[in-house]
Amino acid sequence: MARHTGFKTGALWVGALVALVAGPVQAVNLPASCVGPADRPVEQARVDHVHDGDTVRLADGTRVRMVGLDTPEIFWREHSAEPYGHEARQALIDILQAHDDRVLLVYDQERYDRYQRLLAHLFTPDGTSIHALLLARGLAVGLTIPPNDWNLRCYRDAEAQAREAGLKVWGLPHLQRVFPARELPRDAQGFRRVSGKVVRVGESRHAYWINLEGDVAFRIDREDMMYFPGLDNPRTLRGREVIGRGLVYTHQGQPRIRIRHAADLDILE
């Protein structure tokens, strides 16, 4: 297989609304907001191995974490997976094989994550977003970790398309609904959408804590406030109805979600 060359290609723009992928992967209608890399610089590479639905290894050994989405986990040691974990991996394999494992890499603001994986948006050689294909088929959820939010609109529109159709992960009970904060299980884990009335907004040295009825908290780190234009003071959220989305974790028995971008927090009228 060819190695990751780092070769810079010229400008690319692909605006087709229908992404046709050969082989076992069926055609997917992508939203109009999903276009090619436009005038962004891209690098050509070849994928050598697919670890799971959002992580691949290039021919030169570089491990790449795909930006802007999260696919169900595969637990290799336990020989198990979350629902649709193996299907997401196979879908990615099929997409890549349809293009001789060749991809275009587009970078965002950060080049590496804390695990020293290369961060990139992957496109097929004809400029079709591989991320959007997985999202539109219901095999991933949108995950925005600032400052890496390029192509956000495409990814969220592709996800919404799958969610409205109840495809794959969006047919799972815990993802089908928006949980009222009072009804969120205390042991909930993984991706959830949670709604509720803000009853208190606290502050700590590093974060704001948006406490909902039902003892659920959304955390917004002070360093992330720049990604919430128009929300100068989170205290103004008190008494408002909000919907937050993200990965749930529990601290001292309280379910919490770290909200890092305005795209993950809806403030209702």
Is 28's pLDDT higher than 80? yes
Mean of the pLDDT values across residues 120-137?
A: 97
More confident residue, 265 or 79: 265
Calculate mean pLDDT across residues 61-74. 97
Mean pLDDT, the chain, integer = 90
Share of the chain above pLDDT 70, in %: 90
Say if CB 116 and CB 24 are below 8 A apart: no
- Round to whole Å and give the CA distance between 162 and 138: 5
Q: How far apart are CA 88 and CA 83, in angstroms?
A: 9
User: What's the confidence (pLDDT) of residue 26?
Assistant: 59
List, in order of start, the domains of the chain with CATH numbers.
18-171 (2.40.50.90), 177-267 (2.40.50.140)
pTM of this structure:
0.87
**235-249 pLDDT, tens per residue?**
999 999 999 999 999
Query: Among 10-19, 37-46, 186-195, 256-265, which is the least confidently predicted range?
Result: 10-19
- Give the whole-angstrom CA distance, residue 8 versus residue 111: 16
Q: Is residue 23 exposed (0-12), middle (13-18) or buried (19+ Cβ within 10 Å)?
A: exposed
Question: How confident is the model at residue 118, as a pLDDT?
Answer: 98
Report residue 25's pLDDT band, with 50, 70 and 90 as the boundaries. low
